[in-house]
Amino acid sequence: MPNVNLSKIARQCRLDLVDMLYQSGGGHLGGPLSSMDILTTLYFGKIFDFKKDHFILSAGHLAAGLYSVLANAEFFDKKELKNFTSFNSFLQGHVSTKTPGVEYSSGSLGQGLSFAAGLALGDSSKSVVCLTTDGEHQEGQIWEAAMFASKYKLGNLINIVDYNNFQIDGSTNDIMPLDNLASKYVQFGWTVTTVDGHDFNKLTKILKDSKKSNYPNCIIAKTILGKGISFIEKDFHYHDIKNMTPEFYLKAKTKL
Amino acid sequence: MNLNSMRASFGKTLTKLAETNNDIYVVDADLKSALELNEFAQKFPKRFIECGVAESNAAGIAAGLAKSGKTVFLTSFSCFSPAINWNVIKQSICYNLANVKIVGSHSGLMSTTLGATHQMLEDIALMRSLPEMEVFSPVDSIETEKIVKVLSRSRHPAYLRLVRTTTPDIFDPKISFTIGKSQVLKKGKDITVVGHGPILYQAFQSQAKLNLDKPYISLEIINCSSIKPLDVETILKSVKKTGRLICIEDHQQNGGLGEMVASLILSNNIKCKFIHLAVKDSFGRSAKTYEKLYDYYGIGVNDLILAAKKIIK
């Protein structure tokens, strides 16, 4: 049975994201849309309490999506979204702790998993959820962190990979193939699950299961770049959008 | 003159502090013996986190641990940390204001036999350019102990520069170390000599030789162990008096302390002659003693004496 509630919230977050990028001039689009259902499940799925548990966004360019979710979760006033990337706004172009509800500032890829692992070690009674991307796994530091989390058996650490098959300049397969990411994580000693990153019920179940693990957890969420705006889906040119036109805006809203 | 190890002083002091402060953690990258942390690791295995030779991850782990409330000492050689993991220090530690103390040993030419790759001559430049980062370079083992104690109580990102060899103890044990304060190690009237780290001992050796001349040149020797924040007041006061400044450091000229004090003097419209003794845009090389290397790179005792005689004219 489809999870109507989460689906409805995710739709609202996508609409707010598009409003936000239209009103502020632009920003990252494809990734925030592919990871929106994951973020919605995290913040509205009643699995974690991020006033105590920790969420670390490693891929800082997904900021706009997280801001939209945090505004809907009432961490701050939704009216602030239109000020995204403006001089006096706390909504920085890459995710920042200036924003209420954000625990880690990032933008340079590959660093968040280490930070999350350190936090998981220091605050072992809480869950630490990290969101990375498939392209980000080209950074070597990710694999240093993967070794570390395995050595220290960080069962409270969950790495969700937003696996949308694209990065800024094209498809991940062309630029630097990850081949079988799941088997790599298995080899590194992690518990690995692959899931449809747009299926709320499955995401909810896997996240609940992952909370009880003795080993670090990797959830490979297969997603669609630009999910929800059908005419930009799987098109890497929409990694980000500059100066969104009224035509694009209206068309995108009707698709959502 | 007693020769002692800054590394031993660091390891011993931190181990002692950890006995009463349960929040002190060490995040290490396979150099616990070199940083004299074997005892720490034995006594506090749960607070000694071994990351292996993976300095970027180690910096991130340190930042995450710090955010859970710990005071984290991230230990390695400076040619690896902060050299390999600079951007992790920038983002995960400084931008996120994580309470991490980066301890980089084997800085400067004092790594002697190890050669260019292990003679870190760029660490001050890397660290002083980062917002939120404090930078400290103790003059000897006594000051190392004092700085480590102060750092264990601070909540701020910091870099601590250590060296490989044993060095002469010259710091007065009765004087306390304060962040942002320099000490005038010796008062003088003709030339202000500023520097950081054990190389400052050469200023005393130079003075001893200069004393043989009549009339002799009198050096005012200032220990700038707190490189950032810098003690502007003490330096300016001395330079206003002498009108001559020599900066000596075991570091590249580019990005070192000398550029900081030169900028300071120009910005304050002070009339002053200036000589900067530092490594001039070159890589290091192996030698059995650091004195040999200091002479080769133009930062030895004789170079300081020559600079003093030149600047006095």
pLDDT at A232 over 70: yes
CB contact under 8 A, A111 and B91: yes
**Best to test chain B binding among A106, A114, A127 (most B CBs inside 10 Å):** A114
In-domain check, residue B178 = no
Structural domain for A71, as ranges:
4-255
Total domains, chain A: 1
pLDDT at A1 over 60: no
In-domain check, residue B71 = yes
Q: How far apart are CA B157 and CA B220, in angstroms?
A: 31
Least Cα distance to B259 among B271, B249, B270, B244 occurs for: B249
- Whether residue A128 contacts residue A157, with contact meaning beta carbons closer than 8 Å, is answered with yes
Q: How far apart are CA B130 and CA B113, in angstroms?
A: 31
Q: Which of A108, A114, A144 sits opposite B87 (nearest CB)?
A: A108
Say yes or no: B136 and B91 in one domain.
Answer: yes
- Whether residue A155 contacts residue A214, with contact meaning beta carbons closer than 8 Å, is answered with yes
Give phi and psi for B94, each to the nearest 5.
-75, -55
Say yes or no: B224 and B298 in one domain.
Answer: yes
From chain B, the residues in CB contact with A188 under 8 A are: none
Say yes or no: B128 and B7 in one domain.
Answer: yes
In-domain check, residue B33 = yes
Q: How far apart are CA A145 and CA A151, in angstroms?
A: 10
Total domains, chain B: 2
Give per-10-residue mean pLDDT for chain B (313 aa).
95 98 98 98 98 98 98 98 98 98 98 96 98 98 98 97 97 96 98 98 98 95 98 98 98 98 97 97 97 98 98 95
The ipTM value here is 0.96
Say yes or no: B81 and B225 in one domain.
Answer: no
From chain B, the residues in CB contact with A107 under 8 A are: 91
In-domain check, residue B176 = no
Residue-wise pLDDT tens digits, B74-128? 999 999 999 999 999 999 999 999 999 999 999 999 999 999 999 999 999 999 9
Longest dimension (CA), chain B: 62
pLDDT at A56 over 70: yes
- Whether residue A54 contacts residue A127, with contact meaning beta carbons closer than 8 Å, is answered with yes
Which pairing describes strands B48-50 and B100-105: parallel, antiparallel, or unpaired? Answer: unpaired
Distance from CA of A118 to the nearest CA of B (A): 4
Say yes or no: B151 and B8 in one domain.
Answer: yes
Say yes or no: B77 and B198 in one domain.
Answer: no
Distances (CA, A) of B298 to A149, B208, B288, B304, B310: 47, 19, 17, 9, 14
Residue-wise pLDDT tens digits, A66-122? 999 999 999 999 999 999 999 999 999 999 999 999 999 999 999 999 999 999 999
Say yes or no: B34 and B98 in one domain.
Answer: yes
Distances (CA, A) of B284 to B28, B121, B138: 26, 8, 21
Q: How far apart are CA A190 and CA A183, in angstroms?
A: 10
- List the CATH number of the domain containing B266: 3.40.50.920
From chain B, the residues in CB contact with A114 under 8 A are: 56-57, 59-61, 63-64, 88, 92
Residue-wise pLDDT tens digits, A183-200? 999 999 999 999 999 999
Say yes or no: B144 and B199 in one domain.
Answer: no
Q: Which of B27, B57, B67 sits opposite A145 (nearest CB)?
A: B57
Say yes or no: B220 and B267 in one domain.
Answer: yes
Distances (CA, A) of A233 to A23, A199, B188: 22, 17, 73
CB contact under 8 A, B60 and A141: yes
- List the CATH number of the domain containing A32: 3.40.50.970
Which pairing describes strands B219-223 and B100-105: parallel, antiparallel, or unpaired? Answer: unpaired
CB contact under 8 A, B69 and A108: no
**Best to test chain A binding among B27, B28, B46, B61 (most A CBs inside 10 Å):** B61
The pLDDT of residue A2 is: 64
Q: How far apart are CA B202 and CA B186, in angstroms?
A: 13
* Domain end call among B168, B197, B227: B168
In-domain check, residue B289 = yes
Q: Which of A106, A115, A140 sits opposite B64 (nearest CB)?
A: A115
Say yes or no: B155 and B28 in one domain.
Answer: yes
The pLDDT of residue A242 is: 93
Least Cα distance to B234 among B177, B196, B181 occurs for: B181
In-domain check, residue B138 = yes
From chain A, the residues in CB contact with B90 under 8 A are: 108
Say yes or no: B120 and B257 in one domain.
Answer: no
Structural domain for B286, as ranges:
183-311
